[in-house]
């Protein structure tokens, strides 16, 4: 796939190819302005590439067929909601999604400590985002794309977000979350995709990341011999090693993100040589 904005002289994506599987939560990561949101719009058919195509269940998303659109939902980073009640919003919008489940919607709202008796225009931006997150999950669409879903949420809201996403996932759903706030979603992810300079820098499962790399906390004064990358932490340093001994450590995706920005060739080479 190749994509270029009309007013740009350079390709945003060139020779770009990726496949997403059902039953997994993907983290789409990259620096600001690198094209994460654009990729979501391409995947949803709202933008069309200059070359190539995007297929969902063997059907081009650009055909805009009802069977495709009813199984696809995109939650943008910026949006507004009409000046109506939540009940009226659901009445108008839910028919587009045959698998929409009102009981699930109410359950998700409860997790956010909200109810159905809401007037959308009276809500704060964070509250509006919670409502739309609940609606998105309750559509039970097969493909769900979220652009910076935790922006505007307070700390309890981010925790509740992780909880309801876990509740809503099943083997036939694919969730792609574009974010730069890695710590908000790292415990949710099955797969890590990082894009940079119109290509894919790393596309690996969290399990493969744990098999290839070791994430360790070192106290001040401990030896850093063999460290691939390190960041200061409260205890001393968060460090990244090649996992040569088959150690089991909890992947620190923020550390990995920064390591890839610092020395992408060195990090990706470890995956390229992993059998």
Q: What is the DSSP string of 176-187?
A: EEE-S-GGGTTT
Tokens for 103? Answer: 């009981």
pLDDT in tens, 157-207: 999 999 999 999 999 999 999 998 899 999 999 999 999 886 899 999 999
Look at residue 198 in the predicted model and tell me its pLDDT.
63
On the question of pLDDT at 66 being above 90, the answer is: yes
Region 209-232 average pLDDT: 92
Would you state the pLDDT for residue 275?
46
Domains within the chain, CATH numbers bracketed: 25-197 (3.40.50.300), 204-272 (no CATH)
Give, in degrees to the nearest 5, the angle at Cα 130 between 126 and 136: 140
Q: What is the pTM of this model?
A: 0.94
Question: Percent of the chain having pLDDT more than 70?
Answer: 99
* Cα gap 208→211, rounded to integer Å: 5
More confident of the two residues 197 and 232: 232
């Amino acid at each position: 796939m190749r994509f270029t904005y009309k007013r740009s002289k350079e390709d945003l994506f060139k020779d770009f190819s990726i496949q997403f599987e059902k039953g997994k939560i993907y983290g789409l990561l990259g620096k600001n302005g690198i094209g994460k949101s654009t990729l979501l719009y391409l995947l949803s058919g709202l933008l069309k590439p200059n070359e190539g195509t995007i297929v969902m269940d063997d059907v081009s998303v650009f055909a805009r067929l009802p069977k495709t659109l009813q199984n696809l939902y995109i939650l943008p980073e910026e949006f507004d909601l009409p000046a109506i009640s939540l009940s009226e919003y659901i009445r108008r919008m839910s028919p587009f999604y045959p698998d929409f489940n009102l009981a699930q919607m109410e359950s998700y709202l409860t997790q956010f400590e909200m109810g159905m008796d809401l007037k959308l225009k009276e809500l704060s931006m964070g509250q509006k985002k919670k409502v739309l997150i609940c609606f998105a999950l309750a559509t039970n669409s097969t493909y769900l794309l979220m652009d910076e879903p935790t922006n505007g949420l307070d700390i309890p809201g981010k925790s509740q977000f992780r909880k309801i996403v876990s509740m809503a996932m099943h083997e036939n759903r694919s969730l792609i979350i574009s974010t730069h706030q890695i710590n908000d979603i790292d415990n949710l992810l099955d797969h890590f995709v990082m894009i940079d300079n119109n290509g894919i820098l790393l596309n690996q499962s969290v399990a493969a990341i744990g098999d290839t790399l070791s994430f360790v906390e070192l106290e001040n004064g401990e030896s850093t011999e063999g460290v691939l990358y390190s960041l200061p932490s409260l205890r001393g340093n968060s460090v990244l090693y090649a996992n040569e001994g088959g150690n089991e450590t909890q992947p620190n995706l923020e550390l990995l993100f920064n390591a890839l920005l610092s020395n992408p060739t060195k990090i990706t080479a470890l995956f390229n040589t992993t059998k």
